[in-house]
Structure 1
Amino acid sequence: MDIPEGYEAYFGGVARRRAEISARVEAALDRAGRAHDAARLVAVSKTVGVPEVLCAIAAGYRHFGENRPQELARKLEGLEAVPGLPALRFDMIGNLQKNKINAVLGRAALIHSVSSLHLARAIAERAARRIDEGASVSPQDVLLEVNISGEASKSGFAPDELRSAMDELQGLRGIRLRGLMTMAPRGDKDRARRTFSGLRALRDELEGAYPSLDLSELSCGMSEDFEAALEEGSTLIRLGRVVFDPAFELE
């Protein structure tokens, strides 16, 4: 595909950075004894426009994440006008308000941030309605956001709250549970690693309690801590600045 006019230098930086990130991802997976295809990178495109996304696509990225429904719609509409693009996937990774659910359904392959039973019910209700109306053929895939670190500033189910809600959650018709998501404390590598390992342990516990569920996706790890997340079992790392800002310094 063609590089957007005037973005040749930017594309070069994104492509070089992708090679650096890929090498570090593979090294982290090697250290954990995991296969190189055990995890995927979600390029978080929330701060860039369609030309930058096109450069990322040309560099080899295929999986993107947005945190605002209106930006998700804008990116998808902009890309629809570009011929010859490869198959792409967009996820919704940010906090989702009830009045924005309809703007996400049918656009996002996966919602990473179902942070409460109340929100899960609302998404399930509207997704089930789309199925009944023939607008969709399958439930909406979602991840359950868990506040593993217990920080007051973070949203998500407390682990005990999630345990109590699982009977209802796994029975909601309009959604399909795919796994868990968390965000680690910033600036503390030890706490971040404990957060990631805690998410994996909670997933293993829930799969043991609900054998029919497949909670294989663990969405955790961002630009400053993705290697530790991969070593602790993450299957989806969410990288923004490190992907789209070639000047961002990799630690």
Structure 2
Amino acid sequence: MSEEQRRAELEASLREVRARIDRACRAAGRDPSEVELLAVTKTFPASDVALLADLGQTAFAENREQEARGKVAEFTELRPSASVRWHMVGQLQRNKARAVVRWADVVESVDSARLVEALRRATANALDAGDRTHPLDVLVQVSLDEAEGRGGCRPDDVPALADMITQTGDLRLRGVMAVAPLGGDPDVAFDTLSKISERLRGDHPEAVEVSAGMSGDLESAVAHGSTRVRVGTALLGGRRLTSP
């Protein structure tokens, strides 16, 4: 596929995904500007990110630090003047904290006190070294089914984790993130997340973001207050690369 063909393909997909978000917002009585589209570019090349940026997409997500590091660097070479934000949405090991804070603007998968401390320390060091110019935005990932291997803290652990984040000077609590349980009812899952978010905002008014909804269930997420949907397949198609 030529670059022109791929651009046309991505442009059509982007138009359709944005239309879905628009329809979902209007059905829920919400303003479409309240919901951000986060393009999940895992396994896709930096050239696709560049084309999407040319089409006006400004937020991108990766789920593996090693793949993301190289892709961010390559994208920066391809579009040195582009202003985009990079999100880490996959499970993050503490020993990857130092690397991830060098490229990520946001980490959405914070789910333990030990990871908070690792990110705090890594961010502080990066700021001191000039590798970052601003604190790291973070979201608390909540497990809605307690399934092993998918990440997320228990709902009852959210308040303590949020308090720990806000006590650091290098991390900024922005809200919550979750993935609907496999095979479960997304409406039930996202309603639960909405209630968790509401309680969190009672203690931390700045934590207004709710990252929920993907290609198959974004309408349900928007109906329950999601402020950011994470879309990969519906936007970019099937996987193109093998993740390292």
- Paired position in structure 2 for 1:146: 142
| Structure 1: gaps spanning 5 or more residues | none
- Paired position in structure 2 for 1:104: 100
* Cα distance change, pair 139–47 in 1 and its aligned pair in 2 (3 A): same
Name the aligned partner's letter for residue 164 of structure 2. Answer: E
Separation (CA, whole Å) in 1 of partners of 2:37 and 2:165: 27
- Pick aligned residue for 2:156 from 144, 155, 160: 160
* Cα distance change, pair 78–137 in 1 and its aligned pair in 2 (3 A): closer
Give 1:28 deviation, angstroms: 0.4
* Cα distance change, pair 89–241 in 1 and its aligned pair in 2 (3 A): same
* Cα distance change, pair 102–10 in 1 and its aligned pair in 2 (3 A): same
* Cα distance change, pair 165–40 in 1 and its aligned pair in 2 (3 A): closer
Separation (CA, whole Å) in 2 of partners of 1:84 and 1:168: 36
- Pick aligned residue for 1:237 from 229, 232, 235: 229
Give 1:96 deviation, angstroms: 1.0
- Pick aligned residue for 1:59 from 32, 52, 55: 55
| Structure 2: gaps spanning 5 or more residues | 240-244
Identity fraction in percent: 31
Separation (CA, whole Å) in 1 of partners of 2:141 and 2:161: 13
Name the aligned partner's letter for residue 157 of structure 2. Answer: E
- Pick aligned residue for 2:189 from 183, 192, 195: 195
Separation (CA, whole Å) in 2 of partners of 1:27 and 1:179: 24
- Paired position in structure 2 for 1:125: 121
- Report the secondary structure of 1:113's partner residue: strand
Structure 1 residues 83-119: Cα deviation after superposition (integer angstroms, max 9, x where no partner): 5653222111111111211111131111010011111
Tell me if structure 2 keeps the 8 A contact 1:65–1:92: yes
- Report the secondary structure of 1:176's partner residue: strand
Question: TM (normalized to structure 2)?
Answer: 0.89
Give 1:137 deviation, angstroms: 4.1
Structure 1 residues 143-182: Cα deviation after superposition (integer angstroms, max 9, x where no partner): 0001123334432110112234443332123211100000
Tell me if structure 2 keeps the 8 A contact 1:14–1:246: no
- Report the secondary structure of 1:91's partner residue: strand
Give 1:219 deviation, angstroms: 0.7
Structure 1 residues 14-37: Cα deviation after superposition (integer angstroms, max 9, x where no partner): 111111111111010011111111
- Paired position in structure 1 for 2:242: none
Deviates more, 1:79-88 or 1:109-118: 79-88
Q: Count matched residues.
A: 239
- Pick aligned residue for 1:223 from 212, 215, 226: 215
Give 1:133 deviation, angstroms: 4.5
Separation (CA, whole Å) in 1 of partners of 2:81 and 2:162: 39
- Report the secondary structure of 2:78's partner residue: coil
> What is the aligned-residue RMSD (CA, Å)?
2.1
- Pick aligned residue for 2:180 from 181, 184, 189: 184
